[in-house]
C-alpha cells in the first residue's frame, strides 16, 4: 500500500499546476500517487499534464468534462480509486 494519495483538482491553471505538482514531488516520499483531476481542461493544460506524467509515473490524470461548480463530483470518483493509506489535498494554484 502507498503511504499517501495526493489529490490535485484543476481546471485552467496552466501557469501554476506544474509548481503544485513539484511541491508534492519535493516532499521526499516516493510511496505516493499524485491524482490530477481535470475538470474541463483545455488542450494546452492537457499537454502540460501529459508532460508531467511522462516525467513521473506516480502521476495519474483523470480527464473529465467541465462539471458543475468546481468538479467536486469527480473528486469522489477519483478518491474511490486511491491506494494511499492517507489522502492529501493540494491546490493547483
pLDDT digits (tens, 9 = 90+) for 12-63: 888 999 999 999 999 999 999 999 999 999 999 999 999 999 999 999 999 9
Predicted pLDDT of residue 91: 94
Prediction pTM value: 0.94
Query: How sure is the predictor about 85, in pLDDT bands with cuts at 50, 70 and 90?
Result: very high
Name 80's Cβ contacts closer than 8 Å, sequence gap at least 6. Answer: none
Query: How sure is the predictor about 67, in pLDDT bands with cuts at 50, 70 and 90?
Result: confident
The CA distance from 2 to 34, in Å, is: 11
Backbone angles phi, psi at 32, to 5 degrees: -130, 165
Amino acid at each position: 500500500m502507498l503511504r499517501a494519495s495526493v489529490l490535485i483538482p484543476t481546471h485552467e491553471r496552466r501557469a501554476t499546476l506544474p509548481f503544485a505538482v513539484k511541491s508534492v514531488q519535493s516532499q521526499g516520499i516516493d510511496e505516493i500517487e499524485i491524482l490530477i483531476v481535470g475538470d474541463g481542461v483545455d488542450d494546452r493544460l492537457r499537454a502540460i499534464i501529459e508532460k508531467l506524467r511522462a516525467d513521473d509515473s506516480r502521476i495519474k490524470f483523470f480527464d473529465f468534462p467541465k462539471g458543475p461548480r468546481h468538479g467536486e463530483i469527480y473528486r469522489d470518483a477519483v478518491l474511490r480509486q486511491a491506494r494511499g493509506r492517507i489522502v492529501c489535498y493540494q491546490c493547483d494554484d
